[in-house]
Amino acid sequence: MTDTYFVHPTAIIDDGCRIGAGTKIWHFSHLMSGCELGGSCNVGQNVVVSPGVKLGKNVKVQNNVSIYTGVICADDVFLGPSCVFTNVINPRSAINRQGEYQQTLVGQGASIGANATIICGNAIGAYAMIGAGAVVTKTVPPYALLVGNPARQIGWVGEYGHRIKFDEKGWATCPESGQKYQLEENKVHRVS
């Protein structure tokens, strides 16, 4: 990674951060020591990126997002405004649980909606879509569409973010891209 990135004058970048070329970090955001951001990321205003967090290339972080230690996002992830990741199952102010941080993996191309909460220790599959305000309490399969509190799966989405509906043979086509998908044993695969 290089130092060819933009940082707004009000942002705080601690020593020891790795930031990829073309990344932009906006107003009042704080990147803590030991975090890594790939190239061409966009970090909105008032975002906290904790130590050890890793963001892939082209990750879009909207305003007021908290990304705590243990979170790893693959390339092309979208984190909606005010979404939150936890990193301890049973936090207490008087008890230090830093040794109990759990990992949360967010797969390539996944989108997490505004005000959603992701409980630690779960993975969000590639291209999954988490609706606004959802509370994710379990692992999410690739291409799954989840909403609610607790979040429940209500369908499937393609890589362009459109809901896809499978025919009786388990085939679906994205209305925008024309990409074809197959549903087998409750798993979705893109086939073209």
Domains in the chain: how many in total?
A: 1
> Is the pLDDT at 46 greater than 60, yes or no?
yes
Residue that is written with structure tokens 């891209």 in the block: 177
- Residue 147 domain flag: yes
pLDDT band at 125 (very low <50, low <70, confident <90, very high): very high
Q: Kindly tell me the sign of the dihedral angle through the C-alpha atoms of 146, 147, 149, 152.
A: negative
Residue 107's alpha-carbon distances to 15, 95, 136, 182, 189, in angstroms, are: 28, 32, 15, 19, 14
Q: Is residue 66 part of a domain?
A: yes
190 within some domain:
no
| Residue 187 resides in a domain | no
Residue 20, domain member (yes or no)? yes
CATH of the domain at 140: 2.160.10.10
pLDDT in tens, 139-184: 999 999 999 999 999 999 999 999 999 999 999 999 999 999 999 9
Tell me the two tokens of residue 129.
């879509």
Q: Domain range spanning residue 80?
A: 6-164
**Residue at 1 is within a domain:** no
**Rounded to two decimals, what is the model's pTM?**
0.96
Whether 39 is in a domain gets the answer yes
Instruction: Give domain status of residue 77, yes or no.
Output: yes
Round to whole Å and give the CA distance between 90 and 187: 32
Interval 87-115 mean pLDDT: 96
Task: Indicate whether 3 pLDDT > 70.
Answer: no
